[in-house]
């Protein structure tokens, strides 16, 4: 799908509204379909309890606006959307009302005023560059002791009767549990029927706490993320698996000069003395500590950075970082957040028009199934959904590690399927200034190579489907190149 398919989706929805009329029982649903075409993509954050979703959300947005403590707010689905000014709206018992925007120690404080079971929707409108491109949906942790809390997440991500409201899911895991596998498999099953999201990105969360935060937990997190990406139980259930420390990423965007001053003071302490104090939170914050920093400042610092974050920041200061902005940038680089942002942009953000058009057409198709329309309109909607190569690419990116391709061919297939970006030169590994003829020739060579692989009679179905899809992606590049030459 391209921009013209987005226009076609608008046309078909308007045709349906005209056919049914403004007083029909489905006009509100049709209007919602049309509004969605103009909205950012919806990305849901999901995972088990204490997986670090709220901290990661704060890091993505660059501000501490998602509550991380166990309050009523963490028991409801919360939508974070772009706005020029902060605003919070709660819908409960059928009535929307604004909540006050209050901050305590730099963190947003939400007082719902009602119990979680009465909340129909909680929306936080906030100025953020990320929210220009994505609406972020924070979901309650699954495997909660309270069954109704988990059910709110399941109703959004895997509704029994309806379409998932999220276009993509970022699924956070700390290690491999049956609960994660079962939910991801359920989501994948819905993706196969066209009612689920269009892709899942796996995140190894709280990466700074791997191995108890001792040694080099970020290096250990990268090793564990590779193991999880290759785990047989997760094959085909995600498109990437990225280690991220939400805490380091958040501090990299909110670091204050006062915090840097405290860290610099700690960096001047003899290393053996500081390491002894950093053995545990209790020892570091003890009133009897001989560290040249007040107990209040030490407590604030460990709450903000964690023990590993303090060690890492001090080591960076020892290595020559001399001011707060440089330290903030270094923490952000180490956190893994940029890798997650690039993945969201390359796999979903660059396809935003196609994905929104598909979601709207899938919803329209279900509406027409409940409210029979003219045969001509239904056929047009079916045709709009028939061009599914974009979604074939996304599904195969999720399962590409389960193919029998070599590591080199798997990397090539990932790139051609748009895993590193969807422009022709990114797919083909060419310079950005490559002309139409150069792109066409490279695509034709790739088509021959991937079709030759299909001659192998021993190819399993998944590997064969991947080879066919890669060749089809290259054929689209050839077609576009010929148009450009004309």
Looking up tokens 């979604």 gives 391
Residue 2 has pLDDT above 70, yes or no: no
Residues 390-409 have pLDDT tens digits of: 878 887 887 888 889 998 99
What average pLDDT is seen over the chain?
88
% residues pLDDT > 90 (the chain): 49
Query: What pLDDT score does 484 carry?
Result: 59
Residues 255-280 have pLDDT tens digits of: 999 999 999 999 999 999 999 999 99
Buried b (16+ CB within 10 A) or exposed e, 389-411: ebbbbbbbbbbbbbbebeeebbe
Query: What pLDDT score does 232 carry?
Result: 80
Per-residue pLDDT, averaged over 241-252, amounts to 93
Structure tokens at 253: 């965007």
Query: What pLDDT score does 69 carry?
Result: 64
Per-residue pLDDT, averaged over 68-93, amounts to 86
E strands in 179-287: 200-204, 241-243
Read off the pLDDT band of 105 (50, 70, 90): confident
How many CB atoms within 10 Å of residue 159?
Answer: 14
How many alpha carbons fall within 13 Å on the CB side of residue 29?
Answer: 17
Per-residue pLDDT, averaged over 241-247, amounts to 92
Per-residue pLDDT, averaged over 362-376, amounts to 86
Query: What pLDDT score does 72 carry?
Result: 67
Beta strands 87-92 and 241-243 are unpaired
Query: What pLDDT score does 387 carry?
Result: 67
Residues 299-343 have pLDDT tens digits of: 999 999 999 999 999 999 999 999 999 999 999 999 999 999 998
Query: What pLDDT score does 216 carry?
Result: 84
Cα torsion through 396, 397, 402, 404, rounded to 10: 80
* Contact between 153 and 140 (Cβ < 8 Å): yes
Angle, helices 461-485 vs 407-416, to 10°: value is: 40
Question: Considering the entire predicted model, what is its pTM?
Answer: 0.86
Read off the pLDDT band of 1 (50, 70, 90): very low
């Amino acid at each position: 799908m391209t921009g013209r398919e987005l226009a076609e989706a608008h046309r078909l929805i308007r045709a349906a509204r005209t056919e049914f009329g403004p007083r029909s029982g489905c006009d509100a649903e049709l209007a919602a379909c049309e509004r969605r075409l103009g909205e950012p993509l919806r990305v849901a954050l999901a995972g088990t309890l204490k997986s670090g979703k709220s901290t990661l959300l704060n890091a993505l947005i660059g501000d501490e606006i998602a509550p991380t403590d166990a309050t009523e707010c963490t028991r409801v689905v919360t939508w974070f959307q772009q706005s020029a000014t902060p605003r919070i709206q709660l819908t409960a018992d059928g009535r929307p009302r604004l909540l006050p925007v209050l901050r305590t120690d730099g963190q947003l404080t939400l007082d719902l005023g009602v119990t979680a079971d009465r909340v129909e929707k909680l929306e936080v409108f906030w100025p953020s560059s990320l929210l220009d491109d994505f609406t972020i949906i924070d979901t309650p942790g699954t495997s909660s002791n309270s069954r109704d809390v988990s059910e709110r997440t399941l109703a959004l991500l895997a509704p029994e009767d309806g379409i998932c409201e999220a276009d993509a899911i970022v699924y956070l895991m700390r290690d491999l549990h049956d609960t994660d596998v079962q939910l991801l498999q359920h989501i994948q099953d819905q993706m196969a029927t066209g009612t689920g999201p269009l892709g899942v990105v796996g995140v190894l969360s709280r990466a700074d706490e791997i191995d108890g935060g001792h040694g080099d937990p970020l290096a250990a997190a990268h090793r564990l993320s590779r193991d999880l990406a290759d785990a047989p139980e997760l094959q085909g259930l995600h498109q990437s698996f990225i280690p991220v420390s939400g805490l380091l990423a958040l501090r990299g965007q909110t670091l204050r000069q006062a915090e840097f001053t405290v860290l610099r003071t700690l960096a001047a302490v003899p290393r053996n003395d500081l390491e002894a104090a950093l053995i545990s939170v209790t020892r570091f914050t003890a009133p009897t500590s001989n560290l040249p920093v007040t107990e209040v400042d030490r407590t604030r610092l460990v709450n903000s950075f964690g023990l590993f974050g303090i060690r890492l920041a001090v080591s960076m200061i020892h290595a020559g970082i001399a001011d707060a902005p440089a330290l903030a940038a270094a923490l952000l680089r180490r956190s893994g957040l940029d890798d997650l942002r690039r993945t969201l942009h390359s796999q979903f953000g660059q396809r935003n028009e196609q994905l929104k058009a598909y979601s709207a057409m899938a919803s329209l198709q279900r509406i027409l199934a409940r409210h029979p329309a003219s045969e001509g309109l239904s056929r047009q909607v079916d045709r709009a959904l028939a061009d599914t190569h974009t979604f074939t690419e996304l599904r195969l990116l999720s399962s590409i590690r389960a193919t029998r391709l070599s590591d080199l061919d798997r990397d090539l297939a990932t790139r051609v399927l748009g895993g590193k970006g969807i422009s022709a030169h990114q797919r083909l590994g060419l310079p950005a200034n490559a002309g139409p003829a150069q792109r066409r020739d490279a695509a034709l060579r790739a088509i021959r190579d991937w079709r030759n692989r299909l001659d192998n009679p021993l190819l399993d179905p998944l590997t064969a489907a991947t080879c066919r899809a890669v060749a089809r992606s290259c054929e689209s590049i050839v077609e576009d190149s010929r148009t450009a030459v004309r």
